[in-house]
Chains A and B, each alone.
Chain A
Amino acid sequence: MKNTFKKIYAWVDERLELQDLIKFMAKKYVPVHSHSIWYYFGGVSLFLFIIQVVTGILLLMYYKGSEGLAFESIQFIMSKVAFGWLIRSVHSWTANLFILTAMIHMFSVYFEKAYRKPRELTWLSGMLMLFLLLGFGFTGYLLPWNELAFFATKVGTEISGAVPVIGKPIMEFMRGGDDVTGATLSRLFGFHVAVLPGIFTVLLGLHLLLVQRQGMSEPSHYTDQPERERKTMPFFPNFFLRDVLFWLVVLNLIAILAVFFPWELGVKADPFASAPAGIKPEWYFLFMFQTLKYIPAKVWFIDGEVLGILAFGLAGMLWMMVPFWDRKSSRGEQNRFINYIGLFVVMFIIVLTIVGWLA
């Protein structure tokens, strides 16, 4: 058996020169310090992305992206297709965990100042992927064509429609018309399975390439140590195997969630029915939704909702551009201001999400 594996490996190695790759990876070292745990969230996000791609493709084999068939096709997947319930639940749970781990990854990079020169492009590509991820969540939410998703999409697209000048055309583009209809479903389905994955894959390739090229970022508290005291571990096999270990733990968690809390399908959307009480978006949009509720209808002469959306847009833009305006961190100096902003943002998101959830 062992000989057979060796033979196969030798056959592949002869053609692909795997030894070179292993040597490259073995030469790659990962810094070991008190905050090393955060390095794993990038890897686990990649793992969840792979699960999403695999389960998404499996779902595509049965899903029908039309107003009249979408709900029924998911119903069929859940009840008739062998392990369809598992695939769908895993896809839904993984989507949420993916956004969570990506956010943790993003905040860890932010607090470790890993975005500073020369990793501005890595940060930018990561941020763009996070936005795309939210786009995946938004477009995928409508696909089961159930009541909650229908009205949440209606509210969501309506909010984007409030943006001055470009809002209305964006809303109509997303909806494929004036209202959320079967056209919206087809459009969002197209985005979810073709447009977004295409762009995401390109960005992911760039992101991974940059990480491989530039190596793991070393935080200042690590580089401040004398060189001989700086601990490292080989990327392969040590870090890679630890990554895999974490992936296995997450896989176990997903399996438990999928079996004990199967993702509900709800009631089929009825465009003529009135919206059910307490419509809320998915948890990752909840803090924004809740904030918009607190803003008065009119602030001076500006519409409260418009002001909120513009404020979030501006904050997002500033956040994404942090490597370019946080010059202190790039120079290797401490910048506590960045930490305070980061802490405020984290607290803001957590509190508003909890309030929104309980509301």
Chain B
Amino acid sequence: MKQKYILRGCVLMVLVLCTGRLFAADQCIACHAGVVGDKPSALFKHDIHFAKRISCADCHGGNPKAEEMEAAMNPKQGFKGVPKGDAISQVCARCHSDSTKMKTYGAALPTNQWGNLQTSAHGKLSTTGKEHIAQCITCHNAHGIVSVKNPASPVYPLNVVKTCSKCHANAAFMRTYNPSLPIDQAEKYRTSVHGALNAKGDPKPAVCSSCHGSHDIRTSKDAKSSVYPVNMPVTCSKCHSDAQYMAKYRIPTNQYDKFAKSVHGVALLRKHDVGAPSCNSCHGNHGATPPGVESVSKVCGTCHALNADLFSASPHKKAFDDRKLPECETCHSNHEIVTATDTLLGVAPEAVCSRCHQESQNPKGYAIAKTMRQLNDSLALSGSVATALVNEAEQKGMEVTEAKFKLRDARQAHLQMRTMVHAFNEDKFREVINKGMAAASFAKVEAKDAIDEYYFRRIGLGVSTLIITILSIALFLYIRRIEKKQV
């Protein structure tokens, strides 16, 4: 026990001596902490730079060994005072952009932060027009800087949202840069699954920097941004496809693979159609959370508005809600939504209707599903016959513009029918089908007439050519006869 106290006493003595030696070497701390007692010097004692024996003068200039204030803070001795504007970040960059220097401190940090910051959204000029919007100290603090892994750091995962919100939740401040940018990201974040876990002290769920990046933050409209629609699925998948990282949350990690194969994924990732939905289109971005069973149709309805409206007014809405079936997802799946084909409709084994509407248990629904499929097939068949006839007439060189217009109407009706199916109402469905059938019939008649006309022209040509040829021969013989007489 006695030995333990002696050991502790020795350690304390060493610490006191070391600190004393340091303070003795750096007169800045000696005065500012000992005499003035200001906050920066108090914070600096906990700063990682202080631990790495970087002195105040390394950033502020001057002579840290001079005992007299006039000598220590003499501009002739290189004293710069408090750096302003971009000079702040340039001071940090002197070491943080120099990999050799960083190695001397034993740091394995990247050295591209200042470069990234300059090209980022925060690197744009501030309202004064003289400096970047954000400097290093805006997020990392000036004195008392600690490692990002240190829970005391303002950029530690549990603190990031608060740090970013200092500006991004400040309406007056944000208005000066982008009045249309929302300022409720932090509030939404707190309602998200990520935010809820973060609030419980879990540093793993996504925070602002997980999706937006840190030094290289770009606006969501910038194609290089990690939150640009095309890049969004990859950004989310960095965590959500990492089975090991996600293990403790017990949720699937195959969403990205499924999404990439889906009609939305193909449009977004392969065709680079930025109008196609990305992860955040359905889950929200800052308030990311899986949509509830009842709200699926509303979520899908942000794009598929008509389908959603028809579904909400249909008898299926109540039936789905009662059975706790997720609305659109029940028939179309969620992440792996493929292009809807006619096979989804009807009572065949591959049709989705037959999953609930079986002949024995639900004969009425079964009959309607069967009829709707038959009507659909009739329109599809009629359309394809009309298309073939119109193509044939066109290949024969006939003028079939009007028939082609009608074909377009028939195709339009087929598309309308696919929407109308969500009303699950046979009468409304039949009305659209009839419209399409009428257009297809018209096109068929027009095309048939054109084909008949084609053959009529050929027969007509044959007859007229024959008449003209006979006339020519007769004339030739007549000329010969009169010329013989003349001789």
Residue positions of A touching B, CB distance < 8 A: 75, 78-79, 85-86, 233-234, 237-238, 241-242, 244-245, 248-249, 251-252, 255-256, 259-260, 262, 265
Which residues in B have their C-beta under 8 angstroms from that of A244? 475
B398, B479, B482, most chain A CB atoms within 10 A: B479
Question: Does A245 lie within 8 Å of B399, measured CB to CB?
Answer: no
Cβ 8 A contact of A262, one of B397, B469, B472, B478: B397
18 contacts between A and B (CB under 8 A): A75-B399, A75-B401, A78-B399, A233-B483, A234-B486, A238-B486, A241-B479, A245-B476, A245-B479, A249-B472, A251-B468, A252-B469, A255-B464, A255-B465, A255-B468, A256-B465, A259-B457, A259-B460
User: Within the complex, what minimum Cβ distance (angstroms) separates B459 from chain A?
Assistant: 10
| B420-436 interface code vs A (CB 8 A; 1 in, 0 out) | 00000000000000000
Question: Does A79 lie within 8 Å of B472, measured CB to CB?
Answer: no
B461 interfacial by beta-carbon distance below 8 Å: yes
Task: Mark out the residues of chain B between 109 and 129 whose CB falls within 8 Å of any chain A CB in the assembled complex.
Answer: none
Cβ 8 A contact of A79, one of B397, B399, B465, B471: B399
Which residues in A have their C-beta under 8 angstroms from that of B450? 79
B402 interfacial by beta-carbon distance below 8 Å: yes
Which residues in A have their C-beta under 8 angstroms from that of B461? 255-256, 259-260
Please give me the residue from chain A that is nearest to B468 by CB atom: A252
Which residues in B have their C-beta under 8 angstroms from that of A241? 475, 478-479, 482
Which residues in B have their C-beta under 8 angstroms from that of A86? 457
Main SS class of interface, A: helix
User: Within the complex, what minimum Cβ distance (angstroms) separates B148 from chain A?
Assistant: 54
Question: Does A248 lie within 8 Å of B472, measured CB to CB?
Answer: yes
Which residues in A have their C-beta under 8 angstroms from that of B323? none
Interface residue count on the B side (C-beta < 8 Å): 24
B400 interfacial by beta-carbon distance below 8 Å: yes
Determine the distance from Cα of A309 to Cα of B464 in the docked complex, in whole angstroms: 45
Which residues in B have their C-beta under 8 angstroms from that of A251? 468
Task: Mark out the residues of chain B between 358 and 396 whose CB falls within 8 Å of any chain A CB in the assembled complex.
Answer: none
B458 interfacial by beta-carbon distance below 8 Å: yes
Please give me the residue from chain B that is nearest to A245 by CB atom: B475
User: Within the complex, what minimum Cβ distance (angstroms) separates A90 from chain B?
Assistant: 12
Determine the distance from Cα of A48 to Cα of B210 in the docked complex, in whole angstroms: 81
Question: Does A248 lie within 8 Å of B468, measured CB to CB?
Answer: yes
Cβ 8 A contact of B399, one of A85, A237, A242, A255: A85
Please give me the residue from chain B that is nearest to A237 by CB atom: B482
| B447-487 interface code vs A (CB 8 A; 1 in, 0 out) | 00010000001101100110011011001101100110010
Which residues in B have their C-beta under 8 angstroms from that of A256? 461, 465
Which residues in B have their C-beta under 8 angstroms from that of A79? 398-402, 450
User: Within the complex, what minimum Cβ distance (angstroms) separates B84 from chain A?
Assistant: 54
Question: Does B472 lie within 8 Å of A252, measured CB to CB?
Answer: yes
Determine the distance from Cα of A260 to Cα of B468 in the docked complex, in whole angstroms: 17
User: Within the complex, what minimum Cβ distance (angstroms) separates B279 from chain A?
Assistant: 39
Please give me the residue from chain A that is nearest to B458 by CB atom: A259
Determine the distance from Cα of A1 to Cα of B265 in the docked complex, in whole angstroms: 85
Task: Mark out the residues of chain B between 78 and 95 whose CB falls within 8 Å of any chain A CB in the assembled complex.
Answer: none
Please give me the residue from chain A that is nearest to B465 by CB atom: A252
Determine the distance from Cα of A252 to Cα of B472 in the docked complex, in whole angstroms: 10
Determine the distance from Cα of A241 to Cα of B482 in the docked complex, in whole angstroms: 11
Determine the distance from Cα of A248 to Cα of B467 in the docked complex, in whole angstroms: 10
Please give me the residue from chain B that is nearest to A75 by CB atom: B401
Which residues in B have their C-beta under 8 angstroms from that of A238? 479, 482-483, 486
Question: Does A248 lie within 8 Å of B482, measured CB to CB?
Answer: no
User: Within the complex, what minimum Cβ distance (angstroms) separates B1 from chain A?
Assistant: 94
Cβ 8 A contact of A248, one of B398, B458, B471, B486: B471
Which residues in B have their C-beta under 8 angstroms from that of A255? 461, 464-465, 468
Please give me the residue from chain B that is nearest to A79 by CB atom: B399
Cβ 8 A contact of A265, one of B399, B475, B486: B399
Cβ 8 A contact of B475, one of A85, A233, A248, A260: A248
Please give me the residue from chain B that is nearest to A264 by CB atom: B397
Determine the distance from Cα of A75 to Cα of B401 in the docked complex, in whole angstroms: 8
Which residues in B have their C-beta under 8 angstroms from that of A75? 399, 401
Which residues in B have their C-beta under 8 angstroms from that of A233? 483
Determine the distance from Cα of A255 to Cα of B471 in the docked complex, in whole angstroms: 15
Determine the distance from Cα of A262 to Cα of B472 in the docked complex, in whole angstroms: 24
Which residues in A have their C-beta under 8 angstroms from that of B398? 79
Please give me the residue from chain B that is nearest to A259 by CB atom: B461
Determine the distance from Cα of A265 to Cα of B400 in the docked complex, in whole angstroms: 12
Determine the distance from Cα of A234 to Cα of B476 in the docked complex, in whole angstroms: 16
Please give me the residue from chain A that is nearest to B449 by CB atom: A79
9 closest Cβ contacts across the A-B interface?
Answer: A79-B399, A259-B461, A78-B399, A248-B472, A252-B468, A245-B475, A241-B479, A259-B457, A248-B468
Determine the distance from Cα of A256 to Cα of B458 in the docked complex, in whole angstroms: 9
Which residues in A have their C-beta under 8 angstroms from that of B457? 85-86, 259
User: Within the complex, what minimum Cβ distance (angstroms) separates B450 from chain A?
Assistant: 8
Question: Does B458 lie within 8 Å of A242, measured CB to CB?
Answer: no
Determine the distance from Cα of A294 to Cα of B458 in the docked complex, in whole angstroms: 44
Given A78-B399, A245-B472: 9 more A-B contacts, CB < 8 Å: A86-B457, A238-B482, A238-B483, A241-B478, A245-B475, A245-B476, A248-B472, A255-B468, A256-B461
Which residues in A have their C-beta under 8 angstroms from that of B469? 252
Determine the distance from Cα of A79 to Cα of B390 in the docked complex, in whole angstroms: 13
Determine the distance from Cα of A221 to Cα of B457 in the docked complex, in whole angstroms: 48
Determine the distance from Cα of A173 to Cα of B48 in the docked complex, in whole angstroms: 83
Determine the distance from Cα of A249 to Cα of B398 in the docked complex, in whole angstroms: 26
Determine the distance from Cα of A86 to Cα of B465 in the docked complex, in whole angstroms: 14
Please give me the residue from chain B that is nearest to A242 by CB atom: B479
User: Within the complex, what minimum Cβ distance (angstroms) separates A252 from chain B?
Assistant: 5
Determine the distance from Cα of A79 to Cα of B446 in the docked complex, in whole angstroms: 10
Determine the distance from Cα of A12 to Cα of B427 in the docked complex, in whole angstroms: 75
Determine the distance from Cα of A87 to Cα of B70 in the docked complex, in whole angstroms: 107
Determine the distance from Cα of A214 to Cα of B60 in the docked complex, in whole angstroms: 113
Determine the distance from Cα of A75 to Cα of B472 in the docked complex, in whole angstroms: 34
Determine the distance from Cα of A164 to Cα of B457 in the docked complex, in whole angstroms: 51
Determine the distance from Cα of A245 to Cα of B469 in the docked complex, in whole angstroms: 10
User: Within the complex, what minimum Cβ distance (angstroms) separates A285 from chain B?
Assistant: 26
Determine the distance from Cα of A259 to Cα of B460 in the docked complex, in whole angstroms: 9
Which residues in A have their C-beta under 8 angstroms from that of B401? 75, 79
Which residues in A have their C-beta under 8 angstroms from that of B471? 248
Determine the distance from Cα of A234 to Cα of B450 in the docked complex, in whole angstroms: 49
Task: Mark out the residues of chain B between 259 and 294 whose CB falls within 8 Å of any chain A CB in the assembled complex.
Answer: none
Determine the distance from Cα of A251 to Cα of B457 in the docked complex, in whole angstroms: 16
Please give me the residue from chain A that is nearest to B403 by CB atom: A79
Task: Mark out the residues of chain B between 43 and 78 whose CB falls within 8 Å of any chain A CB in the assembled complex.
Answer: none
Please give me the residue from chain B that is nearest to A248 by CB atom: B472
